[in-house]
Amino acid sequence: MKNLIRRDEYIKQLLEARKKEIIKPDTINEFNLQKGEGMTSPTSNLSTEETRILMELMERENLFKVTEAFPSQKNHLH
């Protein structure tokens, strides 16, 4: 059974965890700001590296699904 926690206790724990959180600089937004392009919206709540890995995984999964759906379109590598 999951431990139940009250909302106010949960918020207090989140705020304490946030105080300890290490904030890493966002290199993409810093670069865009230097170029005068403004800030971009984050793709996800993950770090840039984790987001890139996740996006690569999703692209591979999509390719596998396409090749399963259309086997006649599948190209074999030699």
User: What is the token pair recorded at 74?
Assistant: 């599948």
Task: For tokens 């966002």, name the residue.
Answer: 26
Indicate if the pLDDT at residue 70 is higher than 60.
yes
Task: Categorize the per-residue pLDDT at 77 as very low, low, confident or very high, splitting at 50, 70 and 90.
Answer: low
pLDDT higher for 76 or 54? 54
End-to-end Cα distance, the chain: 53
Residue 26 to residue 44: CA distance in whole angstroms: 13
Cα radius of gyration rounded to whole Å, the chain: 21
Please state the pTM of the whole predicted model. 0.40
Three-state DSSP at 55 gives: helix
pLDDT at 44 over 70: yes
Confidence of residue 26 (pLDDT cuts 50, 70, 90): confident
Residue 36's pLDDT band (boundaries 50, 70, 90)? confident
